[in-house]
Structure 1
Amino acid sequence: MFGWQDLAPERPAPARGSFRDSPRARRMLDVREVYAEPAALASPRGQQIMGRLRPDVTVIEVDSHWRIPALHGNDGNIDRWVRIKTETLVLGVKHKLTTRVNGRSADWIAPGPSNGCAMSCAYCYVPRRKGFANPITLFTNIEAIIAHVRRHVRAQGPKPEPNQCDPAAWVYDVGENGDCSVDALVSDNTADLIAAFRTMPTAKASFATKFVNPDLLALDPRGRTRIRFSVMPPEDARLLDIRTSPVPERIAAAPDFLDAGYEVHFNLSPVVLRPGWEESWADLLTHLDDVLPARVKQQAAAEIIMLTHNEPLHEVNLGWHPRAEDLLWRPAVQETKRSQNNALNVRYALHVKRQALDRLRQLVGERAPWLRIRYAF
């Protein structure tokens, strides 16, 4: 057992905006420079975001949020990895609004309100596309994003039959390339999405998070937003989940978020295979069973996601956080894999992965039998 204590006592939801000004929020984001497309900067959302930043922030106009030489592809940024995530923000306009099929965690992947993150998880896939630095890019045309999603939801009609994503609602992942909880520190994009899905009776929003932001408790999702708290053994998280909320805090937040109107699920993610991994996951599952109240367990479900890594990211990590690679980079049990988006990644060998998934499912059945596994890969 970890000796964790309950970190989320009963309390009223905070007034909106109270957390974003807290010392903890300022440690996560102390924005000192903003790279901005002119249209994003001039937009109402862009002006709102700028109004929440320090008055002496430096603004650098750029033609494209994707092409910023000082950030993307600049290997000199490796030793400033965490500082860039803390002090840099990018504002852009999302022009390509597409919703694509998923069928795993969600029925659909919606166009996200952001790209990149202020946290620094050592296995994050977003830097694989953006280069050596991936601070938060916030998209300021949130109205267009929401209008696109509304049209897509209407076009689907009612969900014809249950599936692993949800028995009744079409599920839209709205945070594939960022963390909506962190985005909410500086933008109302997350709040606007939650409010929009509140009015869509045939759909739900869904996003995974590793950051507990109490401001989200005041957004009144009315059961139309699923928040998925990602969890892993704390000893792994301390090494790999840099700048995130501690795992026990994520777990302890579940009852508060359920009571605030969210559907609360868990991501057992990523599962990192290393000596002692089975015992650590058994302890984690026992802790979930010990501390979560019955009302959380009754509606909870989980995804199991095995680690996928990437050789260029491995090289980047060696420059700023080499200890993480002792766990992540294990060629003896890994093989290359061509992903759905045609990226060449590294995953556990098929027989190793199959055995690990079988064992983890067995541990769930033994330690947290109430935790329904929606899918595993």
Structure 2
Amino acid sequence: MSTTTAPPLLDVRRIYAEPAALASPRGQQVVGRWPGAELVEVASHWQIPELHGDEANVRRWVRIKREALVLGVLKSLRARPNGRSADFIAPSTSNGCAMACAYCYVPRHKGYSNPVTVFTNIEQITGYLARHVRRQGPKTEPNQCDPTAWVYDLGENSDCSVDALISDNVADLVATFRGLPDAKASFATKYVNRDLLTWDPQGRTRVRFSLMPEATAKLLDIRTSPVAERLAAIDDFVEAGYEVHVNFSPVVVEDGWLARWADLLDALGDATSEATKAQLACEVIFLTHNEQLHEVNLGWHPKAEDLLWQPAIQEPKRSQNGAVNVRYAWRDKQRHVEQLLALIAERAPWCTVRYAF
């Protein structure tokens, strides 16, 4: 009886590198992990025609994510105010992702496949963050982000659990926040990387496991850890010293969607201990899709668009950067939000809802 093995998440064959990034200790660490990879010097991580902005790349979408890696230097260090999931969005230590979720907004930034770019000036980034936290002083008023700590989102344009397979950037960030009593790091993830269990975060890093019903995830969450594996990891991360929350995201409206979410909430309850439930909270985020991404997806994963692109129940919304997004029609969405919140209150009353939209 033969068995098939899934291809590795990363099998790096070519590394595109800005010279300064390649010469840095962190750049050399990354190159050392894939010593057989071809090195290609580039002037800017933003301008690599064979990776970014070429429609032909749609045919090679997943292969590029698995085989290509980019090294760059982050030149603009800024912590942007947020106020929803976190108080601030931290400067990125990476951009792009090796996974390929069909609804992800990250590919819109660089176009098409958008493999991982690692920013190698990690000492500058962690130093900036430490200074920024100290300038805030103690948090004196609780908010939806956290009652006592300033929360910094680390992975706005990436998945930190995957980034940790590539370099020590995320480990360095966790270590930095371990020493900042007024602040807490936070990142959402769809990938279970058990190496993180050895990092001793001492409660100063919040991991948010993104969840959706298993059948929906099999269609939309491409190259991610199965939902059952994410559920099974939650208690272990709490025991390892992380604060663990969950993201119910994105919530996709489809036939039988509430029944599927009821099953997921029951599974979450079965998978978690009382200690985990006592600290658990969630964010609820309904699907927002993008016209350009819809067109890209039709070239490599059209079945996903049967679920994501539903003009009969969606309405356009133009974003601040001019992109045309679609979301569920406002009145219907309000009803759906109320339905899901009522379901959470019924099936998982121990799970605090931090916000829902």
1:335, 1:306 → 2: CA distance?
13
Select 1:62's aligned residue among 29, 35, 42: 42
Letter aligned with residue 246 of structure 1: P
Match of 1:297 in 2: 277
Q: Give the match's secondary structure for 1:195.
A: helix
Letter aligned with residue 80 of structure 1: R
Match of 2:238 in 1: 258
2:112, 2:83 → 1: CA distance?
30
Query: What is the CA-CA distance between 1:207 and the residue it aligns to?
Result: 0.2
Q: Deviations over 1:200-252 (max 9, x none)?
A: 00000000000000000011100000000000000000000000000011011
Select 2:93's aligned residue among 84, 99, 113: 113
For the aligned residue pairs, the C-alpha RMSD in angstroms reads 1.1
Letter aligned with residue 224 of structure 1: R
Match of 2:252 in 1: 272
Select 1:363's aligned residue among 318, 334, 343: 343
Q: Deviations over 1:38-87 (max 9, x none)?
A: 1100101000111111x221111111101111111111110110000000
Q: Deviations over 1:124-154 (max 9, x none)?
A: 0011121112100000001111111111111
Query: What is the CA-CA distance between 1:343 and the residue it aligns to?
Result: 3.5
Aligned: 1:43 with 2:46: no
Task: Number of aligned residue pairs: give it.
Answer: 353
Match of 2:73 in 1: 93
1:132, 1:81 → 2: CA distance?
7
Identity across the alignment (%): 66
Aligned: 1:203 with 2:183: yes
Q: Deviations over 1:109-138 (max 9, x none)?
A: 011110000000000001112111210000
TM-score normalised to structure 2 length: 0.97
Letter aligned with residue 298 of structure 1: A
Select 1:353's aligned residue among 303, 327, 333: 333
Q: How does 1:59-208 map to 2 (within 5 A)?
A: 59-208=39-188
Match of 1:5 in 2: none
Query: What is the CA-CA distance between 1:288 and the residue it aligns to?
Result: 1.0
1:363, 1:339 → 2: CA distance?
30
TM-score normalised to structure 1 length: 0.92
Structure 1 residue ranges without an equivalent (≥5)? 1-22
Structure 2 residue ranges without an equivalent (≥5)? none
1:169, 1:65 → 2: CA distance?
34
Query: What is the CA-CA distance between 1:160 and the residue it aligns to?
Result: 1.4
Q: Give the match's secondary structure for 2:312.
A: helix
Letter aligned with residue 337 of structure 2: L
Query: What is the CA-CA distance between 1:342 and the residue it aligns to?
Result: 4.8
